[in-house]
Every structure is written in C-alpha cells, then in structure tokens.
Amino acid sequence: MEITVKSGGAAKQQTQCLVLFTGGNGEFPAFSSVDKDTGGLLSSLVERGDLKQAAGQVLMVPTVTGIKAERVLLVATGKDQPKASAAEKICAGVARALNGARVNDAVIAFDDLQLADRDSNWLLRLLARNIVSAGYKFDEYKSKQADNNAIVLGKIALLQSGRKALEGHKQAAAEGSAIANGMALARDLSNRPGNVCTPMHLTGEAKKLARGVAKLSIKALGEKEMEKLGMHSFLSVSKGSVEEGQLIQMDYKGGKKGDKPVVLLGKGITFDTGGISLKPGAAMDEMKYDMCGAASVFGAMKAIVELQLPINIIGLIATAENMPAGHASKPGDIVTSMSGQTIEILNTDAEGRLVLCDALTYAERFKPKAVVDIATLTGACIMALGHNISALMSNDEELADALLVAGNVSGDKAWRLPLDDSYQKQLDSNFADMANIGGRPAGTITAGCFLSRYAKEFPWAHLDIAGTAWKSGGEKGATGRPVPLLVQYILDQVS
C-alpha cells in the first residue's frame, strides 16, 4: 500500500473517499469547510444522531454534492478531546471502514485529529500502521483465493493544511507502514503450518529477506556446526526430529563500523509436541505458533531494512522441532550447554529455554550493546498477564526501562516481572548444575531465571509473549506482536 502526505484543502480533493473527523469537543476545520460546501449536509447527519459520538464510530456518506470526493467517511473522536487510548479506537475504526469500503484510494483530513497527550507524528505512525494491517489476510492454503479483480485499497493520502511538518509526517507514515509490513511477515510465518514452516524454511526466508539488501547478510549453522561449538542443550531438542535444527544469523550493518550491535534473539520451535513429555491433544495444532518469537525478529528485521535505520542489528533465530522420536531426549537426561553448564532435563516440554540458552552464549561473540530474546516460553505467563500484555524480565535497568517505554509508546505493552535471586533455588538439581524447570510456582519467572544464567556478559532482557503472539477460537491467527514494541525500541535507539 502506498501512503503519502500532502498539503491542501479537503473540499478540493479528488478521491474515492474523503475521511473527516468530528466530535463533541474541539474545532475541525476540514469538516467545517466540507460541511459548508455541501450545504450543511454533514453537520445535519451528526446532529440527528446518524453518527454515534463514541471514539472510532464511523458513518459512510455515499453521495455528496458540492465537493470533488465521491463519498465521505465521517469518524467520531468522542465527546472530549481524544487521548492515546481513544486514538487506537479511532485509527482502528478508520482502517476497518476503508478496507471494507471497496475503494482504491482515500484522503484523510489528518490535521483535524488532535490528541491531548501525543504528538501528530505518533498519531500518524499509529494510523498508518492500522490502515496497512487492516488489509491483512492469510489465504495461502485456500483452494479458492480472493478475487484478484476485487477493489483493494492501494493509496492513502494524509492531508495537512500547511507544509510545516510535512517531512516529519512523511517519516512517521513510513515508520507506521514499515511496522505493519513487518507484522504481516511475522503473521505469515507464524500462520504457516508446521509441515511447511520448518527450520530450513525459516533459513530460506532469511535469505529471501536479504536479497538485494547490501547491508544485510545471512549465515545459518546446522547441527554439525552446533555440535562443534558444544551446543548440546540446543541439540537435545532438535535431535528428536527428522527436521534439522538451525541457528540463523541475520547481520544488518546500518550503523558505524565498530558500533556494538543490538541482538534480537527469537525462539523458533516450528512445532512443539512437548517431546517425550507429550502435550495434551486438545489445541495442539496451535503449537505451530511456538515460533512466534522468531517470527517477530523476522518482522522487526524487515521493518529495520525497509527504513534503512542507522544501527547495527544481529537477528538470531534458534529454530528446531520438538518431537517424541525414539532418539529424543528423555526426562532425567543431562546435557552440557555451550557455556559448559550442565542441565538436568526434567521436562522435555520446557524446550524453548534449552535452545535459547545456547543461542545466548553464542551471542557473546558479538560483544553486544544489548540482547533481547523473544519467546512463547511459558503457559504460566498467560495465567499471570492474560492475552493483553507481554512479560518482561531483565538484568539491566536501562534496557528494561527502554523496552517498557517502547511498549507504551507503540501500544504493544509489556509488564516487568521480578528476577530476584530468591527464585533461582527452584532450579536446583541433585545431579547437574541446574534443572530446566522450577516447578509450578512462578513458572514464568523461573524460566527467566534459567535464561539469566546464560546472559551475564551483556545487558539482557527476555520477553515472554505466550499470551500475546496469537489468538485462538474464531479469530485464530498470529497477531504480529511484539514487532511494534521491538521496532519502536530500535527507533528510540537511533533518534
């Protein structure tokens, strides 16, 4: 989708759909101008209650005389000047209406939408992201796909009255669009079935992402290379499958030579049966989503490449299948990680931390500025925070604060959980340096404690996205989170 920013008068716009905002508190110059040219038609519709005065409510006016636009979409901003929470509803309402309106292009009178607690660039980024994301669909495996001749929204112009903020607005629109494109890639990878989206498939997708991009290079380690590095914790998971595990490295050199990179590490278990500690059969199909952490790294890297951000980033994907074959790991097995620490595997369904710990040790070689790992790690996270907010743990206050701020700014929120030493003893083992589980109490925290033992050489944060990465039921599908949080964090590093 093409999103542009331009200046001009709303009534003079030649478009299939002109989007105007109105509400109970505030001035709306574009609305007033168009209303005047249409003989008061729009205000009369609002006054008689055709448009409900709640943030995000919409009314399509299909035939309008006196202006150049073919139709007008009226959008309510609420009875008071909207804040960020209302803006999310407003932007979502605009996005849904335009993508369902059977129009090729639209012009949005952006200047009329003023927030009490956010600047116009933040709002524009959110609006662009919502509009692009609203058109997302996943029909790769439908025998009858959507009609190629159907009318699809392809062009959006964001209208402002003057030229003062034009360049800043163009950048904000580009950022919102890039984040949405990154989310779409993350959703595509996550929604693909496990018989397609294998570790080798992800390696192929990484190479595809790097095609024609001089600043991005790809390296993939197979099981023989990992064996030589001593990554026996990782291999204890991948050895149960006929699909070979992969450690994928995406190296983006957008910053100065010698600048320390930020490492984004994604858990990529492309299907998780639980291994010998087999999961219940109900909803096991959703375990294809156990690679959503990896998918979010792909999505963030796509956005970073699209925006050509001036920063060095390493994207690491620790990807494997967790299967219950005859040569799979058994509860009670002991393995030695790349760091030299030994692990008693008490539950083979706690496999994500086993691949991530070796990848964290591997990340030391980059001497990173920070490492953020992203994983659908624990069901306990859903019990703690539900499906709205991701969990965050960190060994570094500055990094934790930066990620929390990025979550709040992007609307892709996280909540920090403690990483206190008192939880570490739950991982004690009689036979190895540690066990891979710490029992039912504080399961999300003890998983973070496990990973923290492999992240002592750099600032590190862990995002548990088990509750936010996908939806079940009638809306089953990947959400693309936490791509917005990750990209906002990177944007903050270069601003």
Coil, helix or strand for 448? helix
Catalytic residue among 192, 353, 413, 481: 353
- CB under 8 Å to 257, separation ≥6 — which residues? none
Q: How many of the other CB atoms lie within 10 Å of CB of 147?
A: 8
Residue for token pair 């548990």: 464
Answer whether the bond into residue 482 is a cis peptide, omega within 30°. Answer: yes
- CB under 8 Å to 176, separation ≥6 — which residues? 3, 124, 125, 126, 127, 128, 129, 130, 132
Based on the residue annotation, tell me whether 239 is a catalytic residue of this protein: no
Tokens standing for residue 485: 């949080």
Contact 63, 16 (CB under 8 A): no
Catalytic residue among 170, 215, 279, 471: 279
Residue for token pair 């980024």: 125
Q: Rg of the Cα trace of the chain?
A: 25
Give the integer Cα–Cα distance in Å for 20 and 75. 6
* Separation in Å, CA 419 to CA 217, 341, 395, 450: 35, 20, 8, 10
Contact 481, 414 (CB under 8 A): no
Helices (H), 51-104: 84-99
Give the integer Cα–Cα distance in Å for 22 and 33. 12
Residue for token pair 């403690």: 418
Q: Amino acid identity of 273?
A: T
Residues in the chain: 495
* Separation in Å, CA 83 to CA 53, 79, 111, 406: 15, 11, 15, 18
Based on the residue annotation, tell me whether 279 is a catalytic residue of this protein: yes
Question: Please, what's the largest Cα pairwise distance for the chain?
Answer: 83
Sign of the torsion angle spanned by Cα atoms 173, 56, 182, 309:
positive
The per-residue DSSP string of 343-364 comes to EEES-TT--HHHHHHHHHHHHG
- CB under 8 Å to 379, separation ≥6 — which residues? 443, 466
Q: Amino acid identity of 445?
A: I
Q: What share of the chain is helix, strand, coil (3-state, %, to 5)?
A: 40, 20, 40
Q: Amino acid identity of 16?
A: Q
Question: Could you tell me which of 486, 469, 487 has the C-alpha nearest to residue 478?
Answer: 469
- CB under 8 Å to 26, separation ≥6 — which residues? 77, 81, 114
Catalytic residue IDs: 279, 353
